[in-house]
Structure 1
């Protein structure tokens, strides 16, 4: 079978398509024929050597959608989707076939194409971990989301479905169909946020990190929860510790790579109903590429795109 491989770290040019042995099903594993697989920024970082756990040579890729072709009889021919920690210490989804634990098999939403389903994984799993698992958002919460890109946009949809009030924090205060209000990240952000939220947000989800951290801390209402998932432009931050504890604020980190394929499948199963009933919308796909054009696809993600990049197999 064909698989995307890299045997050294570097720019996307180190990637190459190779013929490798097809995986075999075992007592606890199934084989999925991959029909589509998205490329995440973490995949580009992985190829670039920025993920310390990665072993070489390796097939990258965390998200997929496809059809079970070998494994338990009840799963044969079933359309499934998946996400998780593939592509770092074991081969990932940017290949024609992938071996996955039977326990990780999860039916994809029937109303989505394979390309749409493959574009959901990491963004929505990360957002779910932040909004549902870490912050435990309820309909009584006001949730401020800094950055409404892939993960932030997914978080807005999840929080909105729960019934929370959602405020987007973006450059120019751009509105989004899933937010109730928007504030400008380049203006007096804290004052705008406090005015829009009647004194502060009970939850702040910071998808940017680094430069926005101190602002995010100041956005919190009494006993507010701050969720961090990134350190985009700097790893070291500072804040007023006295103000932090007087406000009884809470700070939590979320890393979707701590969820393997099986753990991520449980989240995808919880998400599936929202997509099938239409309260969640799949991310826009900027472009699809053939596996043979994967280097160009990785370059597109590395350069930054509006919308998802998907490999169609």
Structure 2
């Protein structure tokens, strides 16, 4: 098979397109012929050495969609999608023509999604799904999504609307067009966030999902009593000045969202959960994808590391 592989970390030059032996699945595993694989910023960080538990040499990549070619009889020939916390880190990942993983780690691909669309969803949608689940977003919940124009933010808005939540999107970039029924605010100074939010949600937002990690201090003052703040990132040094007294006085809760805590089987259950929403037309189909040959993968990694916001889909 052909794959991207790195044998050292710290430099994207260590990533190359090469031919490797096709893996052989164990009795409880499947071999999937990959039709499309998503490229996420965490894949780039993996090659750069940001994950100390990664073992080498390694094929990176977490998200994929394809067809089962070996495994349990009931799965052979099935179109599937998957993601999870080991693939790309402690076992070979999806940036290849084939991937081997536990049979419990794949879910049947929604019929409404193409392989490329399905491959774009794994990390962004499981992250958003987990954030909404654990911060208890339901019908009528007043939700603020910070960083709404990113992949995770967009997924969170779609999933929240499908749950019947009231959503306000917060972005820095001018010209952002929110989904129908979603109000938006332009982020400027952190000190202004509370007033901006309360102009839409008197009393504050019940849930704030900060997909950047940089607005945590400001988010506290925009929170309603007993509100929840979910977040998925933090400054590079891992520290932030949080107004703990103000959070305490609101009875607020912080929810750290890290999908690397979830196995492929855990993620397959999430994919089944929100995958049905695509087929029910309750979620918009993913768009603005750039499909490129797997052989051009190293160049795509470099582009993401240099700040590209394009959603690259690698096609073996």
TM-score, length-scaled by structure 2: 0.94
Shift, 1:179, TM fit: 5.4
Shift, 1:153, TM fit: 0.7
CA separation of 1:131/1:93 partners in 2, compared to 1, >3 Å: closer, same or farther? Answer: same
List per-residue Cα deviations over 1:99-129 (Å, max 9, x = no partner): 1111122110112111111001000000000
Distance in 2 separating the partners of 1:114 and 1:175: 27
> Which stretch of the first structure deviates more once superposed, 45-54 or 298-307?
298-307
Aligned to 2:129: 128
Aligned to 2:261: 258
Aligned to 1:93: 94
Shift, 1:230, TM fit: 0.3
Equivalent pair of 1:62/1:92 in contact (CA under 8 Å): yes
1:157 aligns to 2:155 (yes or no): no
Structure 2: tracts of 5 or more residues without a match: none
Number of aligned residue pairs: 311
Aligned to 1:249: 252
Aligned to 2:287: 284
Question: What stretches of structure 1 move > 4 A for 4+ residues in a row?
Answer: none
CA separation of 1:307/1:109 partners in 2, compared to 1, >3 Å: closer, same or farther? Answer: farther
- Of residues 192, 195, 207, the one that matches 1:191 is 195
Shift, 1:25, TM fit: 2.1
List per-residue Cα deviations over 1:45-95 (Å, max 9, x = no partner): 000011111111100000000000001111111000001121011110111
Report the RMSD for the aligned CA atoms in angstroms: 1.5
Trace 1:108-257 onto structure 2 (pairs within 5 A).
108-132=109-133, 134-148=134-148, 149-171=150-172, 172=174, 174-177=176-179, 180-187=182-189, 188-210=192-214, 212-232=215-235, 235-257=238-260
Distance in 1 separating the partners of 2:180 and 2:153: 10
> Which stretch of the first structure deviates more once superposed, 273-282 or 162-171?
273-282
Aligned to 1:59: 59
CA separation of 1:281/1:303 partners in 2, compared to 1, >3 Å: closer, same or farther? Answer: farther
Distance in 2 separating the partners of 1:160 and 1:213: 23
Distance in 1 separating the partners of 2:198 and 2:175: 14
Q: Which has the higher helix share?
A: 1
Shift, 1:7, TM fit: 0.3
CA separation of 1:234/1:193 partners in 2, compared to 1, >3 Å: closer, same or farther? Answer: farther
Aligned to 1:308: 311
Distance in 2 separating the partners of 1:216 and 1:283: 29
Shift, 1:173, TM fit: 7.7
Structure 1: tracts of 5 or more residues without a match: none
Equivalent pair of 1:82/1:265 in contact (CA under 8 Å): yes
> Which stretch of the first structure deviates more once superposed, 175-184 or 86-95?
175-184
Distance in 1 separating the partners of 2:96 and 2:42: 17
Equivalent pair of 2:60/2:88 in contact (CA under 8 Å): yes
List per-residue Cα deviations over 1:132-178 (Å, max 9, x = no partner): 2x112111310001001100110011111100100111124834115
Equivalent pair of 2:65/2:115 in contact (CA under 8 Å): yes
